[in-house]
């Protein structure tokens, strides 16, 4: 007979407190043993995170058993900031439904969560195996051999679902290497953690969700000396190897660069892991390209804003800059005509055979400079791009933009 635990843990009286973040744990007894979600809430709030935790846990169940449960689906229809999905024991070992089916289940849960909470951070929970005892001998070698199999399954599912995972099992391994003292489990032949193991799980969850150190004065029911050891193990394993747990692999980041050359600015999108992009250039121009040039018609303070969207979660970034000089000029002041071709620039002037010039890219780097030869500039040797050519005549500079 399976027992279902669905309850809300609240230690904050004001539910509408500013900055409050909602966390949902979904799993089985490996999640609810020793009331680990409450430990997590206490730790997070000790660290100033202001979280309220809910858990949906069914003893002995896997995600396959829970996927259609009405209570869980109702929870998915609520807003969340963080959701932790713990596959069952057999699922974590690649047995039962298999890796492909588990991946499909996780993707479906992810879609349902993001339909309501598009900015929620969803993580998988890599469990620790138990330590078997056979013929009066603890099978530590078997433990260290089987734990990588669990990690490989969770890694494959997380990678396919484009989600990070909390390496709880790896932190258990890091503790047990060289110790073999069973300080994190209830007993041999029991996969369940004791209070120390649940405390270590809490630390790993904190490191994974907030990506910062867990060091604090909250030790749960763990002895202080051991608690500090576990804190440092979790910090080291999770934060020093974020790439292994895919913590940055699928994270959305919004950023862009700009390079000013006189009144022309080159904008380059540096954002990662997004679906759509839209630029707003000083409320004058809109673009959907990753890279482009824009020429301002006046000097002064300007701004550029980039807006990206990933599965409905929106990110934006605005940067301000100044255009100090508008170099749009009357070409007749300098020459009658300028002809740009793929291989040359012809300057049609009156009475001038040699004119000093320099050609710069949109980053302001000079790629060619010298004097015109019979008013012709050879540009065969520069790459295809957008450039600014500056002519220096009578201590005056005349700038023109051209695209090769």
Could you tell me the maximum CA-CA distance found in the chain, to the nearest angstrom?
A: 103
β-bridge mates for residue 292, sequence order: 267
Q: 331-403: same fold as 256-323?
A: yes
pLDDT of residue 355: 79
User: Would you say the C-alpha torsion 240, 241, 243, 247 has a positive or negative sign?
Assistant: negative
Instruction: List Cβ neighbours of 92 (8 Å cut-off, separation of 6 or more).
Output: 126, 127, 150, 153, 154
CA distance 389 to 369: 9
pLDDT of residue 349: 65
Q: Which long-range contacts (CB under 8 A, 24 or more apart) does 7-16 make?
A: 7/54, 7/55, 8/52, 8/53, 8/54, 9/37, 9/38, 9/41, 9/52, 9/53, 9/54, 9/55, 10/52, 11/41, 11/42, 11/45, 12/45, 12/50, 12/52, 15/52
DSSP3 helix / strand / coil % (the chain, rounded to 5): 30, 30, 40
Spatial contact of 359 and 369, defined as CB atoms under 8 Å apart: yes
CATH number, domain 331-403, options 2.60.40.3080, 2.60.40.1930, 3.65.10.10, 3.40.50.2300: 2.60.40.3080
From residue 131, alpha-carbon distances to 35, 81, 146, 198 in Å are 22, 34, 10, 16
DSSP 8-class letter at 373: B
Domain boundaries, the chain: 4-239, 256-323, 331-403
pLDDT of residue 325: 63
Locate tokens 């069973």: which residue?
182
Q: Which CATH architecture has domain 256-323?
A: Sandwich (2.60)
pLDDT of residue 16: 40
Q: Which fold, 4-239? A: Rossmann fold (3.40.50)
Instruction: List Cβ neighbours of 101 (8 Å cut-off, separation of 6 or more).
Output: 64
Kindly give the confidence (pLDDT) of every residue in the chain, 404 residues in length, as a single tens digit, with 9 standing for 90 and above. Answer: 333 444 433 333 334 444 899 999 999 999 999 999 999 999 999 999 999 999 999 999 999 999 999 999 999 999 999 999 999 999 999 988 999 999 999 999 999 999 999 999 999 999 999 999 998 899 999 999 999 999 999 999 999 999 999 999 999 999 999 888 999 999 999 999 999 999 999 999 999 999 999 999 999 999 999 999 999 999 999 999 999 999 999 999 999 998 887 788 889 999 999 999 999 999 999 999 999 989 898 889 999 999 999 999 999 999 999 887 644 444 445 565 677 777 888 887 666 667 788 898 877 788 999 888 777 888 989 988 888 888 877 767 777 888 88
Six token digits for residue 12: 């904050």
pTM (2 decimals)?
Answer: 0.78
Six token digits for residue 275: 């679906």
Spatial contact of 258 and 356, defined as CB atoms under 8 Å apart: no
- How many CB atoms are closer than 10 A to CB 183? 17
pLDDT of residue 180: 86
Instruction: List Cβ neighbours of 94 (8 Å cut-off, separation of 6 or more).
Output: 149, 152, 153
């Amino acid at each position: 007979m399976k027992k279902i635990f669905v309850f809300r843990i609240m230690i904050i009286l004001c539910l509408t407190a500013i900055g409050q973040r909602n966390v949902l744990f979904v799993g089985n007894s490996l999640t609810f043993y020793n009331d680990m979600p409450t430990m997590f809430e206490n730790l997070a709030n000790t660290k100033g995170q202001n979280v309220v935790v809910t858990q949906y846990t069914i003893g002995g169940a896997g995600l396959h058993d829970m996927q259609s449960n009405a209570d869980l689906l109702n929870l998915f229809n609520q807003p969340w900031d963080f959701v932790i999905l713990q596959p069952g024991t057999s699922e974590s070992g690649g047995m039962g439904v298999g890796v492909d089916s588990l991946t499909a289940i996780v993707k479906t849960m992810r879609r349902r969560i993001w339909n309501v909470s598009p900015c929620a951070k969803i993580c998988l929970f890599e469990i620790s195996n138990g330590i078997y005892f056979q013929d009066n001998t603890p099978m530590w070698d078997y433990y260290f051999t089987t734990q990588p199999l669990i990690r490989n399954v969770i890694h494959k599912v997380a990678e396919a679902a484009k989600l990070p995972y909390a390496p709880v099992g790896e932190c258990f391994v890091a503790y047990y290497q060289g110790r073999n003292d069973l300080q994190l489990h209830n007993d041999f032949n029991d996969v369940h953690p004791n209070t120390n193991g649940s405390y270590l799980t809490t630390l790993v969850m904190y490191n994974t969700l907030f990506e910062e150190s867990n060091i604090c004065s909250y030790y749960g029911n763990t002895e202080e000396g051991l608690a500090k050891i576990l804190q440092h193990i979790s910090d080291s394993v999770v934060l020093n190897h974020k790439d292994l747990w895919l913590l940055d692999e699928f994270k959305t980041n919004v950023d862009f660069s700009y390079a000013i050359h006189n009144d022309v600015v080159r904008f380059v999108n540096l954002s990662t892991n997004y679906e759509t992009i839209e630029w707003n250039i000083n409320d004058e121009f809109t673009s959907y390209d990753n890279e482009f040039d824009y020429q301002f018609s006046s000097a002064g303070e300007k701004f550029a804003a980039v807006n990206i969207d990933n599965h409905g979660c929106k990110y934006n970034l605005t940067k301000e800059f100044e255009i100090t000089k508008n170099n749009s000029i009357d070409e007749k002041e300098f020459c009658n005509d300028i002809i740009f071709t793929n291989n040359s620039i012809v300057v049609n002037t009156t009475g001038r055979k040699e004119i000093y010039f320099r050609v710069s890219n949109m980053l302001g780097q000079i790629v060619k400079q010298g004097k015109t030869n019979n008013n012709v500039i050879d540009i065969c040797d520069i790459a295809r791009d957008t450039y600014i050519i500056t002519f220096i005549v009578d201590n005056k500079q005349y700038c023109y933009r051209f695209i090769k």
